[in-house]
């Protein structure tokens, strides 16, 4: 797959597709598109047939944002 569309919000990242599963276990291909630039976070999602743009992103493992994750921008800045 690729090449991906450039993010029109930041112009630096690419919009990449994410898939998910429904409550009944059916595969949902390309349910969301998110910017690869973690400082941008632009996203487009489909929820119950509605298009949702720039909904706040939640992260696994109790972290408040991707910048706090190992290898995120804060870690890269502090370990150069």
Domain boundaries, the chain: 5-78
What pLDDT is recorded for position 68? Answer: 56
What pLDDT is recorded for position 77? Answer: 41
What pLDDT is recorded for position 80? Answer: 34
Residue 64 is encoded by which pair of tokens? Answer: 């408040």
The three-state (H, E, C) secondary structure of the chain, written as one string: CCCCEECCCCCCCEEEEEEEECCCCCEEEEEEEEECCCCCCCEEEEECCEEEECCCCCCCCCCCCHHHCCCCHHHHHHCC
What pLDDT is recorded for position 64? Answer: 54
pLDDT under 50 in the chain at which residues?
72-80
What pLDDT is recorded for position 2? Answer: 61
Question: CA torsion 57→26→7→35, rounded to 10°?
Answer: 40
What pLDDT is recorded for position 34? Answer: 93
What pLDDT is recorded for position 38? Answer: 87
Residue 75 is encoded by which pair of tokens? Answer: 């870690």
């Amino acid at each position: 797959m690729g090449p991906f569309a450039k993010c029109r919000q930041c112009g630096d990242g690419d919009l990449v597709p994410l898939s998910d599963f429904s409550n009944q276990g059916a595969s949902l291909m390309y349910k969301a598109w998110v910017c690869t630039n973690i400082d941008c976070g632009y996203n487009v999602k489909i929820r119950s047939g509605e298009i949702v743009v720039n909904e706040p992103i939640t992260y696994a493992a109790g972290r408040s944002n991707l910048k706090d994750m190992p290898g995120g921008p804060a870690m890269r800045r502090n370990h150069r």
